[in-house]
Amino acid sequence: MEIDHMDIRSTFERNLERTSLVEVYDRERDDLVRREEADAWDRDVRPKGTSRSKSKVEAIEQRAATIIHAIREYERRVTFGNLPSEALPAPGTLDMGGQFLTNKKHIDTLSKLFEIAKIVPKGALLHLHFNAELNPERLLEQAQGMDNIYIRSIMPLLQDSDLDETEMVFNILDPNTVNLDVDIFSPRYPGTATNWRDKDKQAEIWMSWKLFQEKFIENVETEKFPKRYGQHLDTEPNNADKPVRGCCPENSGPVKLNAAENWLKSKMILSPREAYGESQTVNGVWARFNQATRCFKGLLNYQQVYEWYIGKAIDKMIEEKVMYAELRPMLLDKFIPTNDGKGKITNAEQMQMVIDGYVKKQEELKKRGQLDKFPFGLKIVYCTPRSIPKTMMREEMKQCIELKEKFPGLICGFDLVGAEDRPNHIGFYKEELVAFKETCKAKKLHIPLLFHAGESLLDTGGSGDPSKSNLYDAVALGAERIGHGFALMKHPHLVDKFRRKPGQKGICVELCPISNELLHLCRNIKEHPFPELLAAGIPCTVNSDNPSLFTNSMNHEFYQIMVGAPTMSLYSWKQLARWSIEYSCLSKAEKKRGLDILSEAWVEFCQIIVDVCDDEKTGLMKGDNIDDTNTGTEAEPDSRVKAFFGNKTDWTRKTETS
């Protein structure tokens, strides 16, 4: 059949002129967009009605949302500058939302959006491991005055390569139980990765921390060990371009560390090389993570620092605009040592120390009229490893219930922790967990199950069998929240169980995006499934997980959420903050008060954004966009915009909201 090319062309041209066809497409497309926006996961906190019916507060909030969107997109284009193009990216440009540790210096020093993330009210922090809130340099500083801190290695430290390969652990000991001549730098040092549990080896493997520092510094001075550890580090040892993250309130000032302390700090923090190295794997980075955790554990788990730590951790939370937290200590060890290493402080006594610590802090806040900054104190989620035998697990569960009876307002949940690609899956303990729930019911105690689940790419509970996913166990056992939930979107039936519906609150996912990236579940925040989880109607909260090891903070987590998907907005931040209160373990009355405090803080936050960024002197906004055009005038908008993004901004309240 002969094809009439002229007829095809003329028909195509006639159809191009039929505007009604495009109008049909526009209507259908606009309807799809409207329907999706109407069903947005954060719709409940978005303004209702038309612009005329909006209250002044809603109008200010909407303007703040517009400003934050404009700042984000400006920084994507200018501050980071790594944009889609046929040309190779220019030197010095970065991908906004790219690898966290790669971008961290840019974020910390150049991002106005990050400055805003520092002041946004964040509600509650529901997923934070107890020993991981403060930077290790602060723990090392606290150890500087202690005479009976000891350290062990899994090998003698004889050459530079040993510094990378070894694992180090601290402990507080009675000096009378340790040999005075223990020398980790001697070829005869007997410490290994396995014999540290042997009672008859204890006196031979623990070296005085003070003596260790002296000998380490000698090795640096003789260039046996790298000189970089002998400098006062303003940068992280494993990446000279990375600034050290402040861990405590900024007015604490920098901590001066010696060569040994600098090296030990590098063992407690995950470096870019360790996180992103081309040969690094999920299993490798988890092993390194566990080493770091064990390294700083001994710097925290003793009487003096335990008491100090509670107050400092709360200070940091307040600084990050967090009003309440649920901490997760590993309570498998039944005691921590007293300061002299001779006594033992039981888990129950530790829990009382937590209460005493936050009550003391609240009294200080109350005297200053600032109790609303941290009105509800702390709660504890009892954690134990998923790798222990069933007999041990039974004892752990019994102790959790006993602690709940003794401290009903403190113990708020039970969790099983550990890398999910290793045994055991949650269901391995099904008899114990069912008995745990029934015992709680009989004792009229409510201890929610708040499991780590779905923190895995394989998602087989360490078994190789997909049916052993911890997500199945979490739902079947009635978990009220889960930690991470990275693998959840693989399970459409489970997604429906998690979804928030009318009359059903669903199951909340405690998002930990930076943790998931650095432990190799995704390469960067833009690959994280949090937008899909939220779009599916699953309630989520934002959490920092292990900030001491990952050099992150709640400020960084909220920043990452905002740059992780273009659909995120100020309203997304607001809903996530509100859910953190709603899905916490606070009482109904406390939740109501918490939401009221959050709402008041939110109004002030939005007002600050508008006051600062819509100020005529700033010259930042032109309508809904940032005015960075060059007018050629003396007061060109371009120069004012550059000044705004090039200098730190005073984000203080400038006007009163009527």
Task: Report whether pLDDT(637) > 70.
Answer: no
Same domain? 21 vs 142: no
Q: Which of 76-85, 355-364, 469-478, 637-646 has the lowest mean pLDDT?
A: 637-646
Rounded CA separation 615/607 (Å): 12
Task: Report whether pLDDT(656) > 50.
Answer: no
Assess if residue 235 is contained within a domain: yes
**Mean pLDDT within 383-411:** 99
**In this prediction, what percent of the chain has a pLDDT beyond 90?**
88
The amino acid occupying position 417 is V
**Mean pLDDT within 20-25:** 97
**In this prediction, what percent of the chain has a pLDDT beyond 70?**
93
Assess if residue 290 is contained within a domain: no
The pLDDT tens digits for 230-241 are 765 444 433 433
Task: Report whether pLDDT(246) > 80.
Answer: no
Q: Determine the pLDDT at residue 4.
A: 74
Task: Report whether pLDDT(290) > 50.
Answer: yes
Q: Determine the pLDDT at residue 635.
A: 46
**Mean pLDDT within 70-75:** 97
The pLDDT tens digits for 412-427 are 999 999 999 999 999 9
Q: Determine the pLDDT at residue 244.
A: 39
The pLDDT tens digits for 32-49 are 999 999 999 999 999 886
The pLDDT tens digits for 426-476 are 999 999 999 999 999 999 999 999 999 999 999 999 999 999 999 999 999
Assess if residue 211 is contained within a domain: yes
Assess if residue 454 is contained within a domain: no
Q: How many domains does the chain have?
A: 2
Q: Which of 258, 282, 306 is the last residue of a domain?
A: 282
Token pair 């009635």: residue = 478
Token pair 């601290």: residue = 170
**Mean pLDDT within 523-530:** 99
Assess if residue 33 is contained within a domain: yes
Q: Which of 190-204, 401-415, 580-594 has the lowest mean pLDDT?
A: 190-204
Owning domain of residue 174? 137-282
The three-state DSSP-derived secondary structure of 606-645 is HHHHHHHHCCCCCCCEECCEECCCCCCCCCCHHHHHHHHH
Same domain? 144 vs 254: yes
Q: Which of 282, 317, 332 is the last residue of a domain?
A: 282
> CA 547, 552, 558: angle at the middle one, nearest 5?
115
**From residue 191, how far is each of 160, 220, 503 by CA, in Å?**
18, 22, 58
The pLDDT tens digits for 93-114 are 999 999 999 999 999 999 999 9
Rounded CA separation 602/323 (Å): 13
* Partners of residue 36 on adjacent β-strands: none
The pLDDT tens digits for 303-332 are 999 999 999 999 999 999 999 999 999 999
Q: Residue 652: which pLDDT band, with cuts at 50, 70 and 90? A: confident
Assess if residue 149 is contained within a domain: yes
Assess if residue 272 is contained within a domain: yes
The pLDDT tens digits for 330-389 are 999 999 999 999 999 999 999 999 999 999 999 999 999 999 999 999 999 999 999 999
Same domain? 156 vs 29: no
**Average of per-residue pLDDT values in the chain:** 93
Q: Residue 514: which pLDDT band, with cuts at 50, 70 and 90? A: very high
Assess if residue 312 is contained within a domain: no
The pLDDT tens digits for 147-189 are 999 999 999 999 999 999 999 999 999 999 999 999 999 999 9
Q: Which of 254, 282, 310 is the last residue of a domain?
A: 282
Q: Residue 624: which pLDDT band, with cuts at 50, 70 and 90? A: very high
Long-range contact list for 404-410, CB < 8 A, 24+ apart?
404/440, 404/445, 404/447, 405/443, 405/445, 406/348, 406/351, 407/348, 407/351, 407/352, 407/355, 407/380, 408/445, 409/379, 410/351, 410/354, 410/355, 410/378, 410/379, 410/380
- Closest by CA to 543, choosing from 529, 561, 531, 526, is 561
The pLDDT tens digits for 51-68 are 667 899 999 999 999 999
Q: Determine the pLDDT at residue 636.
A: 52
Task: Report whether pLDDT(252) > 90.
Answer: no
Q: Determine the pLDDT at residue 655.
A: 47
Task: Report whether pLDDT(248) > 60.
Answer: no
